[in-house]
């Protein structure tokens, strides 16, 4: 974070100093809502939650080296008092950005793929200049400004995920961190239960490109019928990415290795470069193309982009993380989140990986998808049917909420023990442990709230010696 006095910070957030806070004391450390993570020169944001009141940890934060706390009531320690702590964190982030005119802000949104694209783009831009990208999925009204507040005078690029659970959410995030480059990956059915329709989701996602100025750049998916038309909603120039022949940044000659990692020819501006990704799944090609288009807008050459894409590695857990066990079993942990589009992509990647291993069986251990509203039964049923059509050898539906996955597989033509229902994680793990064979590939995927990642971690930890874990 850049250095600010407490007086300057208080002015930025419309707050008042209390608890003996010295106006000329300097903030130059971490801003966080975790009292354990704050350090010397930091600021602790004290939130009042349903079960925990951050104000109770004010003294602990000061003992850790915090200069003050950002608080909604006086607790007798140096503090900036505000009416709403969350709003104040956003205001502080905006004030910091205004002091960093050299910074290029890149916003990324989409129903699926935001975090993988962030991981790719963050590493690509880091080859061009000092870059900050969020940890994991810091993509909401708290995580985004906390990421912004990590920037300082040396930072050249700031890559931000922008999530939305309703119309107006991304617009708010863009007011905190106005983007120079806006990337819209896709519009799917994630959160459709909250939005009501894919069209409403598109309306919300398009708020990102609406926030761009004439000097910015909109990066849009040419292959998505709800994203490409967003070109009329922005003042900025548009660069399309995708596999379409007329896309400005496109992929040709796509192939997959034994771990489902794509290689392809990256084509843009009349140039061609070879890329070999370290991310599993053909759907990662689209994420890489989006990152490439944004990096071109940031001034990188296609050759430099291709080289950086080929060395980038996954840094966020639970997203097609591949572990090779010493006994020959391959475990794919994709359990961080699940939308219908993401599950379909993961199943296709699973099949490709199994086919690359003679005699291997493809296992899909699937939990429910969340926030699908009235479409939930239909979407879960469709996933079960797709598993059969793709030739998944063993489908394990975990928990009552995943029953429609098993039903869909059964109705499509699954027989015997190809598709089974189990009650919980423990039963699923016991089943796979008992029946998995060397060479098999096991995919674990579900909504993050289901916590199926535990199964993947347990499986990955077994019989592992010299493990190639990505």
Specify whether domain 321-460 bears CATH 3.90.190.20: yes
Q: What is the mean pLDDT of residues 358-383?
A: 93
For residue 145, CA distances in Å to 75, 77, 142, 250, 398 come to 25, 24, 6, 32, 36
For residue 417, CA distances in Å to 178, 326, 427, 438 come to 53, 27, 15, 19
- Predicted pLDDT of residue 80: 98
Q: Cα–chain-centroid distance for residue 284?
A: 13
Q: Which CATH class is domain 100-311?
A: alpha beta
Q: Cα–chain-centroid distance for residue 393?
A: 29
Q: What does the alpha-carbon distance between residue 27 and residue 120 come to, in Å, rounded to a whole number?
A: 31
Say how many C-beta atoms besides its own lie within 10 A of residue 410's C-beta. 17
Place of tokens 């990152």: 291
Q: What does the alpha-carbon distance between residue 447 and residue 470 come to, in Å, rounded to a whole number?
A: 21
Q: What is the mean pLDDT of residues 355-369?
A: 95
The CATH code for residues 4-84 is 3.40.1390.10
Higher pLDDT, 80 or 418: 80
- Reported as a single tens digit per residue, the pLDDT across 133-147 is 987 778 899 999 999
- Asked if pLDDT for residue 188 goes beyond 90, the answer is no
Q: What is the mean pLDDT of residues 353-382?
A: 93
Q: What is the DSSP letter of 133?
A: -
- Asked if pLDDT for residue 120 goes beyond 80, the answer is yes
For 119, the 3-state DSSP assignment is helix
Q: Which two tokens stand for residue 55?
A: 């104000």
Q: Which two tokens stand for residue 225?
A: 């019928």
- Asked if pLDDT for residue 415 goes beyond 70, the answer is no
- Plot region of 227 (φ>0 → left; ψ -120 to 50 → alpha; else → beta): alpha
Q: What is the mean pLDDT of residues 10-25?
A: 97
- Predicted pLDDT of residue 59: 95
- Predicted pLDDT of residue 271: 97
| Closest to 151 in 3D by CA, of 115, 101, 109 | 101
Query: What residues contact 31, with CB distance under 8 A and at least 6 apart?
Result: 1, 42, 43, 45, 70, 89, 92, 146, 149
Q: 321-460: same fold as 4-84? A: no
- Asked if pLDDT for residue 292 goes beyond 60, the answer is yes
- Asked if pLDDT for residue 468 goes beyond 70, the answer is no
Q: 453-460 vs 425-435: helix axis angle to the nearest 10?
A: 30
Say how many C-beta atoms besides its own lie within 10 A of residue 127's C-beta. 16
Sign of the CA dihedral with 298 first, then 301, 302, and 305 last: negative
- Predicted pLDDT of residue 463: 55
Q: What is the DSSP letter of 53?
A: B
Q: What does the alpha-carbon distance between residue 132 and residue 270 come to, in Å, rounded to a whole number?
A: 30
- Asked if pLDDT for residue 470 goes beyond 70, the answer is no
pLDDT more than 90, % of the chain: 85
Q: What is the mean pLDDT of residues 151-167?
A: 94
- Asked if pLDDT for residue 414 goes beyond 70, the answer is no
End-to-end CA distance of the chain: 31
- Predicted pLDDT of residue 193: 65
CA atoms within 13 A on the CB side of 70: 31
CB 353 within 8 A of CB 280: yes
Average pLDDT, the chain: 93
Domain ranges of the chain: 4-84, 100-311, 321-460
- Predicted pLDDT of residue 466: 34
For residue 283, CA distances in Å to 35, 84, 125 come to 39, 40, 21
- Predicted pLDDT of residue 465: 40
Query: Do the strands 43-45 and 217-221 form a parallel or antiparallel pair, or are they unpaired?
Result: unpaired
DSSP 445-470: E--GGG-THHHHHHHHTTT-SS--B-
- Asked if pLDDT for residue 328 goes beyond 90, the answer is yes
Q: What is the mean pLDDT of residues 189-203?
A: 80
Helices (H), 328-452: 340-355, 376-390, 403-412, 425-435
- Predicted pLDDT of residue 165: 83
- Reported as a single tens digit per residue, the pLDDT across 35-44 is 999 999 999 9
pLDDT bin (cut points 50, 70, 90) of residue 243 is confident
Place of tokens 């289901």: 450
- Predicted pLDDT of residue 441: 98
Query: Do the strands 441-445 and 362-366 form a parallel or antiparallel pair, or are they unpaired?
Result: parallel
- Reported as a single tens digit per residue, the pLDDT across 53-108 is 999 999 999 999 999 999 999 999 999 999 999 999 999 999 999 999 999 999 99
- Predicted pLDDT of residue 464: 47
- Predicted pLDDT of residue 191: 67
By CB atoms closer than 10 A (0-12, 13-18, 19+), residue 52 is exposed
CB 324 within 8 A of CB 463: no
């Amino acid at each position: 974070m850049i250095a600010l006095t407490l007086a300057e910070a208080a002015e930025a957030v419309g707050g008042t100093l209390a608890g003996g806070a010295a106006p000329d004391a300097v903030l130059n450390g971490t801003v966080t809502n975790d009292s354990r993570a704050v350090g010397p020169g930091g600021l602790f944001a004290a939130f009042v939650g349903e079960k925990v009141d951050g104000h109770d940890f004010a003294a602990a934060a000061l003992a850790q080296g915090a200069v003050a706390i950002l608080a909604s009531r006086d607790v007798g320690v140096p503090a900036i008092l505000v009416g709403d702590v969350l709003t104040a964190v956003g205001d502080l982030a905006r004030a910091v950005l205004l002091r960093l005119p050299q910074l290029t802000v890149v916003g990324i949104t989409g129903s699926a793929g935001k975090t993988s694209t962030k991981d790719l783009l963050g590493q690509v831009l880091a080859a061009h200049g000092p870059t900050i990208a969020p940890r994991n999925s810091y993509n909401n009204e708290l995580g985004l400004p906390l990421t912004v507040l990590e920037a300082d005078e040396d930072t050249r690029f700031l890559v931000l995920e922008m999530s939305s659970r309703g119309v107006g959410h991304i617009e708010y995030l863009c007011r905190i961190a106005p983007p120079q480059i806006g990337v819209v990956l896709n519009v799917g059915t994630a959160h459709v239960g909250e939005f009501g329709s894919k069209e409403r989701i598109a309306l919300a996602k398009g708020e990102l490109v609406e926030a761009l100025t004439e000097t910015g750049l909109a990066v849009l998916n040419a292959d998505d019928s709800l994203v490409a038309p967003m070109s009329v909603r922005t003042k900025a120039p548009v660069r399309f990415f995708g596999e379409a022949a007329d896309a400005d940044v496109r992929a040709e000659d796509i192939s997959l290795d034994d771990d489902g990692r794509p290689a392809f020819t990256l084509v843009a501006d009349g140039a061609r470069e070879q890329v070999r990704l370290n991310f599993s799944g053909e759907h990662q090609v689209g994420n890489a193309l989006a990152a490439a288009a944004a990096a071109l807008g940031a001034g990188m050459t296609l050759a430099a982009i291709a080289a950086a894409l080929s060395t980038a590695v996954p840094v966020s857990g639970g997203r097609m993380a591949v572990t090779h066990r010493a006994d020959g079993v391959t475990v794919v942990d994709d359990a961080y989140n699940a939308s219908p589009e993401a599950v379909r992509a993961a199943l296709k990647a699973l099949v490709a990986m199994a086919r690359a291993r003679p005699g291997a069986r493809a296992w899909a251990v699937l939990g429910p998808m969340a926030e699908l509203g009235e479409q939930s039964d239909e979407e879960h049923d469709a996933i079960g049917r797709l598993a059969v059509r793709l030739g998944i050898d063993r489908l394990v539906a975990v928990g009552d909420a995943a029953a429609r996955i098993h039903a869909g597989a059964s109705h499509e033509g699954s027989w015997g023990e190809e598709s089974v229902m189990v009650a919980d994680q423990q039963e699923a793990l016991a089943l796979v442990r008992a029946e998995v064979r060397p060479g098999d590939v096991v995919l674990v995927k579900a909504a993050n709230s289901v916590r199926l990642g535990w199964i993947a971690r347990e499986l990955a930890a077994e019989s592992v010696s010299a493990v190639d874990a990505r």
